[in-house]
Amino acid sequence: MTQKEIYQKIEQALQEKTELLLTVKHGLGEIIPNIAFQPYVLGDDAFQYSFTWGYQSDNKDYYRFMLSSIVSAKKTKIKYDVRTDACYQYAIDEDHFGRLAGFDNIYNGPAKLG
């Protein structure tokens, strides 16, 4: 799967609020298949590396994947909404090209929880 196709799948998932199954390269090249992922943010970091940040529903944790580490992305029929504990802190010069509708708990500085 090309980077463009992966990017498009993530964009679609953000628009449709549909969970993805990602296959990713990890560490020294180990391939990890079928990671259930709910994207919240799609963008470029301060070094202009593309990434997606969101919720791993199987691990019950938030995670940031570099797009260069994603081998494939497959849409599922599982729908999701913004979780109440979702909070993203970003770096200076980070650009976001896609964001989950209704997700506005994003800070450039210390998070204000509660």
Q: Does 14 reside within a domain?
A: yes
DSSP state of 113: -
Q: Does 100 reside within a domain?
A: yes
Q: Does 36 reside within a domain?
A: yes
Task: Print the domain residue range for 57.
Answer: 3-107
Q: Does 114 reside within a domain?
A: no
Mean confidence (pLDDT) of the chain: 91
pTM of the model: 0.89
Residue 83 has φ and ψ, to the nearest 5°, of -80, 145
Task: Using the predicted structure, report yes or no on whether residue 111 has a pLDDT greater than 70.
Answer: no
Distances (CA, A) of 46 to 15, 43, 56, 92, 94: 24, 10, 24, 7, 5
Q: How confident is the model at residue 75 (pLDDT cuts 50, 70, 90)?
A: very high
Q: Does 112 reside within a domain?
A: no
Task: Using the predicted structure, report yes or no on whether residue 108 has a pLDDT greater than 70.
Answer: no
What distance in Å separates the CA atoms of residue 104 and residue 95, rounded to the nearest whole number?
15
Residue 96: beta bridge partners? Answer: 43
Those residues with Cβ within 8 angstroms of residue 11's Cβ, 6 or more apart along the chain or in another chain = 42, 98
Per DSSP (E only), the strands in 1-114 are 18-26, 30-44, 50-56, 61-66, 70-79, 88-89, 95-99, 106-107
pLDDT higher at 114 or 29: 29
Q: How confident is the model at residue 14 (pLDDT cuts 50, 70, 90)?
A: very high
Q: Does 113 reside within a domain?
A: no
Instruction: Give the total number of structural domains in the chain.
Output: 1
Q: Does 55 reside within a domain?
A: yes
Q: Does 65 reside within a domain?
A: yes
Note the pLDDT of residue 48.
85
